[in-house]
Copies of this chain bind each other. A is one copy, B any other.
Amino acid sequence: MSGPTYRDVARELGVSTATVSRALSGELGVSEELAERVRRTAEALGYRSNRAARALRKKRAEAVGLVISDVENPFFASVARTVEGAAAERRHAVLLCNTDEDLDQERLYLDLLIEENVAGVIVAPSAEQIGPLAQLREQGIPTVTLDRRVEDDPFDAVLVDHRAGARELVAHLLEHGHRSIAAVMGTTAATPSRERLAGCREAIDAVDGAELSVVEGEMRDAVGVQGTFELGERLAMEMLLGDDRPSAVFCANGLLSLGVLRAVRRLGLRVPDDIAVVGFDDQPFFDLLDPPLSVAAQPLDQLGRTAVELLFDRIAHPDRDVSTVILPPSVRLRRSCGCSDT
């Protein structure tokens, strides 16, 4: 920076840099008279706004928005990293926003991204109704929903076949002879969880005498690593201390799996002898757990890359038909299901 800065303008007038910034960007909180004085001083000092200065030097860095529901969840953290890598290849930055499954926060971040003129948005919506996403459609902003779809499919979407993954895991437990199986769900408010539960039911319904019990928490408890982990532990404790203890458990995500394993350990039960455990989601260390966990792994890299591809294809072809890509999870059998380690 060779020219004068906000600070110089602020010093000249005896006001704060924040005031200068507000005045020059036309925001509220500064009287019109003061704003005018700031503009005149800035001009007199030869101050040129960043945006203008940079636009003269180079094309402005383009950004896309990525709105996820829980940055601390390893699923979203991995997807975020992949999205960023794929966007960087297209010379776009990623502004990452975390909603904690809160619709108000989702609305706030989408407002912000729209104001910032992002080239497009990839979003894991907190609700199935279009809700805060309506403004993306109204303003024609290229949008891809990730991991979850919105009612009536107004946007391109990249999804995982949650139902198939859960069905395969539970069918595997049934093959091991289990007939009383519990599903530990964080919450069934989000589509992926509901689809996973539907997959469990499909497997159970295909086998005579098989029963599924379901325990679940509430949305507000199923957010954040620590929260979800503790929820899984609490739900599993209640279930395992109950009268009809199941012989096997399906855990609806990786954090719940860890919570269930801790409850099992606290109760002095052995996996898989006393209770078999399988879970949705894999993590790089799940084979190091005691015992190694059998899982349905989501294709994280493919998910993030596909979302970015759909988004840039939409940017290039705003009027093409809406496209939905459904990716298969892969089941990895280790020891917690009752198999011998391979």
With an 8 A cutoff between CB atoms, is A220 at the interface?
no
Looking at A104-112, A172-180, A210-218, the stretch in contact with chain B turns out to be A104-112
Q: List chain B residues, Cβ under 8 A from A315.
A: 18
Cross-chain contact A71 with B80 (CB below 8 angstroms): yes
**17 additional contacts (CB under 8 A) given A93-B112, A285-B285:** A1-B135, A5-B138, A26-B55, A27-B117, A28-B59, A61-B112, A71-B77, A71-B81, A72-B78, A74-B74, A78-B225, A80-B98, A93-B97, A225-B284, A258-B284, A258-B285, A261-B285
Q: Known contacts being A98-B96, A139-B6, is A112 close to B289, with CB within 8 Å?
A: no
Cross-chain contact B284 with A289 (CB below 8 angstroms): no
Q: A264 — nearest CB in chain B belongs to which residue?
A: B288
Report copies per complex: 2
Q: A82 — nearest CB in chain B belongs to which residue?
A: B72
Q: Known contacts being A72-B80, A74-B74, A95-B95, is A284 close to B63, with CB within 8 Å?
A: no
Q: Known contacts being A71-B77, A135-B1, is A119 close to B18, with CB within 8 Å?
A: yes
Report A69-114 residues with CB < 8 Å from chain B CB: 70-72, 74, 77-78, 80-81, 84, 88, 93-98, 100, 105, 108-109, 111-112, 114
With an 8 A cutoff between CB atoms, is A115 at the interface?
yes
Supply 8 A–B pairs (Cβ within 8 Å), ascending by A.
Answer: A7-B140, A50-B114, A63-B112, A71-B96, A81-B98, A93-B109, A262-B288, A290-B291
CA distance A29 to B62 in the complex (A): 12
Interface size on A, as a range, is 35 or more
Q: Known contacts being A115-B51, A318-B16, is A7 close to B139, with CB within 8 Å?
A: yes
With an 8 A cutoff between CB atoms, is A60 at the interface?
yes
Cross-chain contact B229 with A284 (CB below 8 angstroms): yes
Chain A 25-63, CB within 8 Å of chain B: the 1/0 string? 111110000000000000000000011101100011101
Q: List chain B residues, Cβ under 8 A from A78.
A: 72, 225
With an 8 A cutoff between CB atoms, is A226 at the interface?
yes
Chain A 253-286, CB within 8 Å of chain B: the 1/0 string? 0000010011001000000000000000000110
Which 3 pairs across A and B sit closest by C-beta, in order of nearness?
A290-B290, A96-B96, A7-B140
Q: List chain B residues, Cβ under 8 A from A119.
A: 18
Q: How far is the CB of A57 from chain B (nearest CB, A)?
A: 10
CA distance A258 to B285 in the complex (A): 7
Q: A29 — nearest CB in chain B belongs to which residue?
A: B59
Cross-chain contact A96 with B97 (CB below 8 angstroms): yes
Cross-chain contact B74 with A17 (CB below 8 angstroms): no
With an 8 A cutoff between CB atoms, is A224 at the interface?
yes
CA distance A51 to B116 in the complex (A): 9
Cross-chain contact A72 with B61 (CB below 8 angstroms): no
Q: How far is the CB of A145 from chain B (nearest CB, A)?
A: 19
CA distance A262 to B292 in the complex (A): 12
Q: List chain B residues, Cβ under 8 A from A237.
A: none
Q: List chain B residues, Cβ under 8 A from A198.
A: none
CA distance A65 to B248 in the complex (A): 45
- Residue from A10, A72, A114, A138 whose CB has the most chain B CB atoms within 10 Å: A72
